[in-house]
Amino acid sequence: DAKTTQPPSMDCAEGRAANLPCNHSTISGNEYVYWYRQIHSQGPQYIIHGLKNNETNEMASLIITEDRKSSTLILPHATLRDTAVYYCIVRDILNNDMRFGAGTRLTVKP
Amino acid sequence: GAGVSQTPSNKVTEKGKYVELRCDPISGHTALYWYRQSLGQGPEFLIYFQGTGAADDSGLPNDRFFAVRPEGSVSTLKIQRTERGDSAVYLCASSDRLNNEQFFGPGTRLTVL
């Protein structure tokens, strides 16, 4: 079973920041938070991951709360191409499988 | 460079038949994963290979499902006596080492009539 809770859907205006929340209240010390997204009819695409510090790359920023029980993925300037299902995954560094939940369907509107 | 490829892209079969789904990982990636995705759901882990051996097959739903990776590169997912409930998109992913990001293929859409 997935260890995360995400809203089923969100809308965002094109050009605005998209903030996607994720709850992972049972996360343990050796578990990372990963984010993937899946555009319609494609395989999932890696976005970013983190352990406890905030992370930023060319795609997004990941903000993890100090208690690590929740996180937020931020797409700073959403475009129509960012419309996708976004998955937040908690992954044990000792395991190699990933347990996906249902994700958040983000729709970026013009 | 070339990404993960999967063949066929679509497979339609009849209930009770045997099917094989192929995955070509990114060259040099030692880890290979299979997932199954039903409509409206997130991908469901099936099995993971490190090299030639199946390191974790805990996600395989039953003994009709089997996967091999004989030379540590290409992998084949085999489904015997297919059932209508096996209809799904089967995704393959690879990574260059333990716990690194996984690169996914486009999937094979299996339809069992």
Q: What residues in A contact B91, CB-CB < 8 Å?
A: 43-44
Would you give the DSSP letter of residue B101? P
A69 has a chain B CB within 8 A of its CB: no
A72 by DSSP, 3-state: which? strand
**Per-residue pLDDT band at A93 (split at 50, 70, 90):** confident
Supply the Cα-derived Rg of chain B in whole angstroms: 13
Q: Which pLDDT score is estimated for B1?
A: 57
Instruction: Return mean pLDDT, chain B.
Output: 94
Do the Cβ atoms of A9 and A104 come closer than 8 Å?
yes
* A45–B107 CB contact, under 8 Å: no
Q: Say which range, A17-21, B5-9, B55-59, B99-103, has the weakest mean pLDDT.
A: B99-103
Hey, which residues 10-29 in chain B have their CB within 8 Å of chain A?
none
User: Could B42 and A98 be called an inter-chain contact, meaning their C-beta atoms sit closer than 8 Å?
Assistant: no
What value does the mean pLDDT take over residues B17-45? 95
* Continuous segment of H or E residues that includes residue A50: strand A45-50
Chain A environment of B55 (Cβ under 8 Å): 96
Does residue B73 sit at the A interface (CB-CB below 8 Å)? no
- Whether the CB-CB separation of B6 and B21 falls below 8 Å is answered with yes
Query: Given this model, what pLDDT does residue B97 score?
Result: 75
Q: What is the pLDDT of residues A71-85, one digit of tens each?
A: 999 999 999 999 999
Q: Does A49 touch chain B (CB under 8 A)?
A: yes
Can you tell me the mean pLDDT for B7-19?
97
What is the per-residue pLDDT across B43-72, written as a single tens digit (0 to 9) for each?
A: 999 999 998 998 889 999 999 999 999 999
Examine the pLDDT at A8 and tell me if it is beyond 90.
Answer: yes
**Residue B99 pLDDT > 70:** no
For residue B31, give the nearest of A46, A49, A96 by CB distance: A96
